[in-house]
Structures are given as C-alpha cells and as structure tokens.
Amino acid sequence: MPITGRNASLTRHNGGGAEGETFPMHKQWGGRFEGATDALMEQFNASIGFDWRLYAVDIRGSLAYAAALEAVGLLTPNECAQLTSGLHLVEAEFDAGGFVAGAGDEDIHTAVERRLYALVGPVAGKLHTGRSRNDQVATDLRLYTREQIDGLDKQLCAVQTALLRRAEEVGEALMPGYTHLQRAQPVLVAHWLLSLFWPLQRDRERLTQARQRVNVLPLGAGALAGNALGIDRQLLAQLLEFDALTPNSMDAVADRDFVAEVLFAGALIGTHLSRLAEDLILYSSAEWGFVTVADSYSTGSSLMPQKKNPDSLELTRGKSGRLLGNLVALLTTLKGLPSTYNKDLQEDKEPLFDTFDTLALTLPVVAGVVTTLQFHLERMASSLDDGMLATDVADMLVRAGVPFREAHGLVGQLVRRGEVLELPLRELPAAELVAVHPALTEHYESIWDPHRSVAQRMVVGGTAPAAIKVQLAAAHAACGITDDHVD
Ligand code: ARG
C-alpha cells in the first residue's frame, strides 16, 4: 500500500527505482564507494520508514532553499521555477498517497530528491548546493515540531475547557479533599477540578516557551562549518517563518535540545494526565462512588459480566510511562555524542513522533471522559466527616489567642478523648471541652458546618466559594477560553 496523507505508513518499492526513473547515482554519497552496501546495513541505516512524515516540511525547506539559491545567482529563475514546480508535484504525490519509496531511498531527504530528479531531470542535482542533510534534517525537524506544538496546544486547551466547564457546573458542591490519600479537609468539587486545570496551563506555557527555542533556523549551517556559497540565511528564515538564526553552525547540526525539551514537556503532560486519571479511577470505584465514567469511555470484562472498567483512564495513566520513556531514550542517545552531527541523531525522531502521536490520541480521550463524567455530588458531600473539621477547631482556639502549636495539641487531646469515650468529636460533652480549654465551648456548635469551613478559606487560591469565583475567572483569562472556543 502506498502512503496516504501524513499519517499512513510508507511502503517500499523493492525492485529498484520506481517507474523506470533514472537517478545518476543510486546513493547521494555513492561516488567514493566501490563495494555495495550490505542489504542488512541498508535496512539498518534507513530512516525512510519513519521520517517520511517529514515530507511536507522537507519540501517546504527545499522550496525556500531553491529560492535562496536563486537569490544568490546559483539557480537561474527558470531553474528555480522547474525545481519549485517539481517539488510541488512530489508533495502532491505524497499527499495523494501515490509516492512509492524506491529501494535506495535512505531517508526522506534522499527520497524527495530522487523523485524530483525523475520529474524535472538533472536540474534537481542543483538543489542540494551548499546544503547538507545535517542542516536539512535539523531544519525539517524544527518545522515539524513547531507545527505539532501548535496542534498540541489546541488539544490541551480542549481538556482545560472540559475541566473548566465542569467546575462551573458543580457550583458550591463539597467533597473531601485528601492528602496522603487520607481525608483531610473539605473542599469545593470545583476546586479539585481546577487543581487539574492549572498543571495543563503550565504545560501550555512550557510548550510556548520551548517553541521559541524550536523556532531558530539551522539551515545554512551546511554539514558543520557553514555555507560557503553566500546563501542568505535571513531570507531563508523569513521564508520559513523562523524568528532567529542559529549562531554557530557546529552547534546547529548537533543541537537536539529542542527535541529534549518537547519530550520533557510531553512526559510532564503525561504525568499530569496520569494524576487526573488516577483520581478518577479511584473516585469511580464502588468504594468512593464519587463519579461514574460514561459507558462510551469504559470497557467490559471478558469474564465478569458485571464489570465496567475505566480503561480510558488506565491507558491514560499507562501512557505516561512511554512518554517518560521517550525522554529518557533521547537523553541517553545524546549523552555520549561528540560535537556536531552523528548518525545516532537519527534516533531522535521515533521518540518525538511517538510522543506527539500518544498525546494526540490521549488528550481528546481525556477531554471526552471529563465532559461525559457523571458526578455523584450527594455521595461526595456525605463522605465528609466531622473529623475533617478538626483544623477548624484549632483555628477557633487560635482566634481566642491560643498559639497554633498549642491549639493543635489541645485538639489532638480532644480527638483522643473522643476515641476513648467512643464519641464523635462534635458530640463531646461540654465538661470534656472545658477540661481541655475553656474557650472551646464558645463556638463549638458552629464548627460542624463544612460550608462554614470552606467559606473561611477565602485567600487567593483558597477553596472558599468567593475565591473559586476569582479562580474561575483567572482560569478563563489564563487559557484564553472564550464562549465561542468552548462551544
Ligand atoms: N536520516 C538522517 C537523520 O535522520 C539524516 C541526516 C543524515 N546525515 C548524514 N550525514 N548521514 O539524522
């Protein structure tokens, strides 16, 4: 099957050059070689099986490069026009799924050039003037990464939108907040949902910042020492919409920091999604019963007819492992390298592609799970217990002038008395309270309303309904969600 569009896989044509094409040399670098490459080595060396995805950016880079060659008189306007229309034809073949890789196509760069030669003839041999695959591949990868970051940003925004909508919908409903997975203090359900929103905001900021370092042009670095033929790098940057030029050609062909940064951002997104998933997996179990995952995002058991499993969320949690693995794989590859380009760098692509693919698949699923999630607000509220208001008792003593450390100890004594007398904290008799501290009796009754508890936490970033209103507005502003965006 030939490739179709940008997401299919590439098939190879095994019987030599496709459709009787003549290419002057089977390999771009074949001139100094006498012996043939071992068949297995050929396979080992090839990256076309995965880097064909760069075809559109590779062709875009070549179109700009042809224009830059013309600008310095290395191509006549006519030659440049031939190359340009030829490159468009090659792209159309890829787009339509009609491109068939030839047996000698080592990578996307050689494949495009071979096909160009078949379509426009010897003038194709002028395209690579002063260029190396070293600066070419670095350019392609930066163009591709830039495009993917923009898509990722939209998908992250969709998950944020889903969380924000649900946070608005649940109003002032309460739930237990946990630390160490133990009941800690009451919080608004909206507060918990927004706690999953902000990490994604930081992820988007991280990607935006990484994008600035991605958007630097390496083309013109040549193999390592720079272009000798006076190519105008500013013109290339302008044509390819890069913001800056790499300042050192040796660094330019070696630098994969931008890949590492994006893989780190991806690994951290995976970690954030994993936390969201883990919360929902726990909360959807019968033991919690706080939420129900929609049937559309659940699967069944082949053995137990009653089972409904949150596979969408388990896979989300599971995929964080491969996202982290991709980062580790790249850094491990990079750490042993000497300066400039080394073929090891070909190993940068699969982890990068996999991270983009994994996130492109996971993020819409997460957005769907959040959007279709059913909340059991009654059950959440009834899971609050008086013990979660023990801090409020200590705060009451603090307001009566007791130093907090002391107040903490006194409330601890109350908790212990409750355990001894087998009474909940709120039902301790007045005599017990007075025995611990006289100020305890004053407002003791009013403590046991969790709404009162949350309402006091009105600091910026706190869980009071008033603070949540401010937080919701901040969330809207931060992620740039408008109502059009949301619908
Ligand atoms: N396929 C190679 C890669 O992905 C392209 C660059 C090859 N450069 C070279 N000098 N062999 O890195």
- The verdict on the CB of residue 207 being under 6 Å from ligand 1 is no
- 331 part of a folded domain: yes
pTM assigned to the model = 0.91
Query: If you average pLDDT over residues 368-373, what whole number do you get?
Result: 98
Q: Cα(334) to centroid of ligand 1, in Å?
A: 15
**Is residue 163 located within the same domain as residue 306?**
yes
**Is residue 350 located within the same domain as residue 362?**
yes
Q: Which candidate in 285, 301, 339, 382 is catalytic?
A: 301
Band of residue 207 on the pLDDT scale cut at 50, 70, 90: very high
What is residue 409's predicted lDDT score, i.e. its pLDDT?
95
Is 50 exceeded by the pLDDT of residue 166?
yes
Q: DSSP states of 84-98 as a string? A: HHHHHHHHHHHHTT-
Instruction: Give the closest residue (by CA) to ligand 1 atom 11.
Output: 343
The vertex-434 CA angle with 431 and 435, nearest 5°, equals 85
**Is residue 52 located within the same domain as residue 138?**
no
Query: If you average pLDDT over residues 154-165, what whole number do you get?
Result: 98
Instruction: Give the closest residue (by CA) to ligand 1 atom 2.
Output: 346
Q: Which of residues 129, 157, 192 is at a domain's end?
A: 129
Task: Report the percent of the chain where pLDDT is more than 90.
Answer: 84
Q: What is the CATH number of the domain that holds 305?
A: 1.20.200.10
- SS3 percent helix, strand, coil of the chain, rounded to 5, is 65, 5, 30
What is residue 290's predicted lDDT score, i.e. its pLDDT?
98
If one residue of 57, 133, 145 were mutated to test the ligand 1 pocket, choosing by the most ligand atoms within 8 A of its CB, it would be 133
**Is residue 416 located within the same domain as residue 368?**
no
Is 60 exceeded by the pLDDT of residue 51?
yes
- 469 part of a folded domain: no
Q: Which of residues 95, 129, 163 is at a domain's end?
A: 129
Q: Cα(133) to centroid of ligand 1, in Å?
A: 6
**Is residue 225 located within the same domain as residue 330?**
yes
**Is residue 367 located within the same domain as residue 441?**
no
What is residue 482's predicted lDDT score, i.e. its pLDDT?
58
180 is catalytic: yes
pLDDT in tens, 381-399: 999 998 899 899 999 999 9
25 token code pair: 């040399």
Is 70 exceeded by the pLDDT of residue 16?
no
- The verdict on the CB of residue 345 being under 6 Å from ligand 1 is yes
- The verdict on the CB of residue 346 being under 6 Å from ligand 1 is yes
The vertex-230 CA angle with 227 and 231, nearest 5°, equals 75
Band of residue 4 on the pLDDT scale cut at 50, 70, 90: very low
Among 351, 175, 138, which Cα is nearest to 255's?
138
**Is residue 41 located within the same domain as residue 104?**
yes
What is residue 442's predicted lDDT score, i.e. its pLDDT?
81
- Which domain covers residue 286, as residue numbers? 134-382
Any idea which of 105-114, 277-286, 300-309 has the lowest mean pLDDT?
300-309
Is 80 exceeded by the pLDDT of residue 7?
no
Is 70 exceeded by the pLDDT of residue 238?
yes
**Is residue 363 located within the same domain as residue 394?**
no
Is 70 exceeded by the pLDDT of residue 101?
yes
pLDDT in tens, 18-45: 443 445 555 667 677 778 889 999 999 9
Q: What is the CATH number of the domain that holds 449?
A: 1.10.40.30
**Is residue 174 located within the same domain as residue 220?**
yes
**Is residue 305 located within the same domain as residue 430?**
no
Query: If you average pLDDT over residues 417-437, what whole number do you get?
Result: 92
- 221 part of a folded domain: yes
**Is residue 152 located within the same domain as residue 287?**
yes
**Is residue 340 located within the same domain as residue 363?**
yes
Place of tokens 């924000």: 164
**What is the tally of structural domains in the chain?**
3
Query: If you average pLDDT over residues 127-141, what whole number do you get?
Result: 98
